[in-house]
Amino acid sequence: MSKSSKKNVPKKNSSVRPYTVMCTDLYLLWILLVYPLYYADGYFHLPERKATFWCTSTLIYIGVTLLGVIITYVSTRDEWSLERIKKNISMTDIFMFGFLISNLIAFALSEDKTNAWTGAGARYYGAKVLILVCISYFLISRYAWVNRVFIWAFLIGGNGVCLLATFDYFGMDVLGINQQMQASDWLMFISTMGNANTCASFVTMAVAGAICYFCVAKDMKSKVFAGISIVNCSVALITARSDSAFVGIAAIGVVLCVLMFVKKIDVKTIVGMAMLVDVAFVGLTVLKRIYPQAFGYDLGIPLLLMNAQGILIGSFIALILIYAVTSYIERKNITFSKNTIKMVCVAGVFVLIGIVVVILSKINFIEMFKTSMGLSEGALDGNRAYIYNRTIRAYSQAPILNKLFGCGQASVSTLLNQCFGEELASMGILINSAHNNILDYLIMGGLFGAICYLGILVSEIKKGLSMVKESPMMMVFTGCVIAYFAQGLFNIEQSNTTTIFWVLLACMEAICRQYAVKKETM
């Protein structure tokens, strides 16, 4: 971020009116705290009278966004000159603007403008929601004053969704809302809010946020809250019934381990976090035995964990030993040479490989993973490998203008039907997503849009990881973004989770600007 980008950052004594900052903060608080619960309404089989509740939340989102823009403009219009705006642009802003332009061009090129605008019945975000998230990004990144309150709001909303997901998995109708619905209402829920992919996406962000907050929190109150969130959300991680969610958590786990090795995060903190996740998994296996009537289906990694109680308990004991040894070394102030550290690391890798081999010898994990990811079917018809192959081939056959700027939102099924309609009809399958966020953006927003999307992520994640020490809050949002992107390599981007994802990116940019102001005033 350039030095000039430090000027237009909201601080209490700046020229930005206090009520503008307050309006933006309330808007951000509403999205992080309340919007996830609107999503939960759809996932938990609400009765017919609330079948269109997702539409209500979208309308409120539109209204609050426009109100925030109007109030912000009226109160700060003297600061909206073109020259001033130019001086306050970061690389992320440029990529975001390019991403918006590319997708608007794609909308203009789209053959089905209705679905491109609405997102095909709200399953995907559509040009309508894309415009809103871009407005939200610029509003939040300029005028929100992000602090710990927003992390708590995000985790409270996330805990609510995760807790309800666990209850739903075990067939517990605790709110009395699991009533019979008409077929049309049920179909809408399954294709929007009730989709397991959508649930997995949100749960991934909730778990990642709780894990990162635990690792960077300084005070005991935050540690306790983060610890409770880890246990609650990790239980929902299995009930989400999706391997893609575990891909996202594995990605953030790798990032945290790297930060541990470069001494940005304490070893004992990482071990403590892993112990909490382990406790959640063990607790769920116990609950599953107490309540065997759970109607949720289990595949892949969730099924592996459900049947690996002994391994999980053994892992917990090993983590306790590691924690005890680390504490002893710190207390005695023992130091080791670099060669000793290298030898210990190599030995640890071999021990880890041995544990994996033992697990694989007892449980055919590879075959289980292939089945859950759709990779074990005879001719690969209809699974992810088939979808990736056909999506890339369909993109290669698109006109040059569509290759550059895309075919519009929710256009994957249209393009695939044009190129492989007879083949898909003969197999009796419908492909409406590549189940890979990069390939989806390549089709919907073109090469230019996909590059801008990756540019936004690289720009913000780089800032986030470089500011772990200076701004621990940044790590929470960075962790959510990394985990969401990783699980999205095997999942579908949908309107509810997409909104939260872009809002978290806006929070990261807002924190960068806040930190720039703090450095300037020191």
503 vs 138: CA distance, rounded Å: 10
Residue 10 has pLDDT above 70, yes or no: no
Q: Look at 189-203, 322-336, 400-414 and tell me which has the smallest mean pLDDT.
A: 189-203
- 479 pLDDT above the threshold of 70: yes
Task: Provide the token pair at 99.
Answer: 């991403």
340 C-beta neighbours (distance < 10 Å), count: 10
Residue 156 to residues 13, 80, 198, 385, 404, Cα–Cα distance (Å): 31, 35, 18, 37, 41
Q: Distance between CA 228 and CA 244 in Å, rounded?
A: 23
Does the residue 316 lie in any domain? no
**What is the structure's pLDDT at 1?**
45
Q: Give the integer Cα–Cα distance in Å for 493 and 433.
A: 9
By percentage, how much of the chain surpasses pLDDT 90? Answer: 15
Query: Stretch 497-501: mean pLDDT, rounded?
Result: 84
The contacts of residue 380 (CB under 8 Å, 6+ apart) are 386, 389
Average pLDDT estimate for 78-105: 78
Residue 117 lies in a domain: yes
**What domain range is 505 assigned to?**
3-308+363-377+430-521
Is 396 contained in some domain?
Answer: no
Amino acid making up residue 240: A
Q: 432 with 413: CB under 8 angstroms?
A: yes
pLDDT at 407: 87
Q: If residue 306 lies in a helix (H) or strand (E), which one and from where to where?
A: helix 300-306
- Return the structure tokens found at 309: 């109680």
The mean per-residue pLDDT over the stretch 237-255 comes to: 84
pLDDT at position 77? 60
Cα-Cα end-to-end distance for the chain: 18
Question: Alpha helices of 398-494 — where are they, by DSSP H?
Answer: 400-405, 412-427, 437-466, 472-488
The average pLDDT across 113-138 equals 77
CB half-sphere exposure, 483, CA atoms < 13 A: 31
Query: 76: burial class by Cβ within 10 Å (0-12, 13-18, 19+)?
Result: middle
Q: Is the pLDDT of residue 497 over 70?
A: yes
Q: How far apart are CA 123 and CA 184, in angstroms?
A: 15
419 within domain boundaries: no
pLDDT at 471 over 70: yes
Question: How much is the average pLDDT of 137-152?
Answer: 85
Q: Provide mean pLDDT across the span 6-23.
A: 52
Residue 477 placed within a domain: yes
Note the pTM of the prediction, 2 decimals.
0.83
Strongest mean pLDDT among 275-284, 343-352, 413-422: 275-284
Residue 161 lies in a domain: yes
Q: In degrees rounded to 5, what are phi and psi of residue 196?
A: -60, -30
C-alpha span between 424 and 375 (Å, rounded): 18
Residue 66: CB atoms within 10 Å: 12
- Count H helices and E strands in the chain, helices first: 23, 0
As for how many domains the chain has, the answer is 1
Contacts of 417 (CB under 8 A, 6+ apart): 424
Output DSSP code: residue 308: -
Taking only the tens place, the pLDDT of each residue in 272-314 is: 888 899 888 888 888 777 766 655 555 667 777 777 777 778 7
With bands split at pLDDT 50, 70 and 90, how would you rate the model's confidence at 338? low
Lookup: tokens for 2: 């350039």
Q: How many angstroms separate the CA atoms of 49 and 248, rounded?
A: 35
Residue 444 in domain: yes
Q: For residue 51, give the DSSP letter.
A: T
Q: Is 144 helix (H, G, I), strand (E, B) or coil?
A: coil
Would you state the pLDDT for residue 378? 46
Beta-carbon contacts of 152 under 8 Å, excluding residues fewer than 6 positions away, are 225
CA dihedral (409, 414, 419, 425) positive or negative:
positive
The amino acid at residue 125 is Y
| Inside any domain, residue 392 | no
Top mean pLDDT of 30-39, 163-172, 252-261, 332-341 is at 252-261
Report residue 440 as tokens. Answer: 């989806």
SS3 call for 342: helix
Return the axis-axis angle of helices 196-216 and 35-43, rounded to nearest 10°: 140
